[in-house]
């Protein structure tokens, strides 16, 4: 996230948004803005506005975090190995700015079998087709 001015993000983001996006934090389940959100539209990066996920791929995972079967485009996110908690997970970042979004697991539904488990705090929804 070298290209983003962290001081200005401190001003613009809530403390939780900052913690999740810049410090790889995780919001508490069932507390975020979007885990139970069902409108049609696009979820963009909270930091840079880059389009990340479409509502058509959102599904009820029961985890309390917004869950998607795929990003809006393959190149819209970056996936990185994450060993922070003594387990191997795959971290998901915004491909445009590097903001932390969440993790991807291989226990999702068809058609991809993937579960992109994403923090509401990393996202900004906009309605649309
Ligand atoms: Fe971004």
Q: What CATH number corresponds to the domain at position 110?
A: 2.170.150.20
The stretches in the chain having pLDDT less than 50 are none
Indicate whether 112 belongs to any domain.
yes
Indicate whether 38 belongs to any domain.
yes
Domains held by the chain: number: 1
Confidence at residue 61, expressed as pLDDT on a 0 to 100 scale: 98
Catalytic residue among 45, 94, 97, 117: 117
Indicate whether 80 belongs to any domain.
yes
Confidence at residue 1, expressed as pLDDT on a 0 to 100 scale: 58
Indicate whether 47 belongs to any domain.
yes
* 117 part of the active site: yes
For residue 120, the CA-to-ligand 1 centroid distance in Å is 14
Locate 124 and state its tokens: 């900004």
Put the strands of the sheet holding 58-59 in their side by side order. 58-59, 67-68, 115-118, 100-105, 89-94, 77-82
Indicate whether 1 belongs to any domain.
no
Indicate whether 12 belongs to any domain.
yes
Evaluated on CA atoms 54, 57, 61, 62, the torsion sign reads positive
Indicate whether 44 belongs to any domain.
yes
For residue 47, the CA-to-ligand 1 centroid distance in Å is 5
For residue 93, the CA-to-ligand 1 centroid distance in Å is 8
Among the listed residues 12, 105, 7, the one whose alpha carbon sits nearest the alpha carbon of residue 61? 105
pLDDT digits (tens, 9 = 90+) for 5-21: 889 999 999 999 999 99
Mean pLDDT over all residues of the chain? 94
For residue 63, the CA-to-ligand 1 centroid distance in Å is 24
User: In whole angstroms, how far apart are CA 82 and each of 24, 30, 93?
Assistant: 10, 23, 11
Indicate whether 10 belongs to any domain.
yes
> What range defines the domain where residue 119 resides?
6-127
């Amino acid at each position: 996230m070298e290209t983003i001015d962290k001081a200005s993000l401190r001003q613009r983001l809530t403390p939780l948004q900052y913690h999740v996006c810049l410090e790889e934090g995780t919001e508490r389940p069932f507390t975020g803005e979007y885990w139970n959100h069902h409108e049609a539209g696009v979820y963009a990066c909270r930091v840079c506005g880059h389009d990340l996920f479409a509502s058509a791929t959102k599904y009820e995972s029961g985890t309390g975090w917004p869950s998607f079967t795929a990003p809006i485009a393959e190149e819209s996110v970056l996936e990185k190995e994450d060993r922070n908690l003594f387990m191997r997970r795959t971290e998901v970042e915004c491909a445009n700015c590097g903001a932390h979004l969440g993790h991807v697991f291989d226990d999702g539904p068809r058609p991809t079998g993937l579960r992109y488990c994403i923090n509401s705090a990393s996202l900004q929804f906009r309605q649309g087709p």
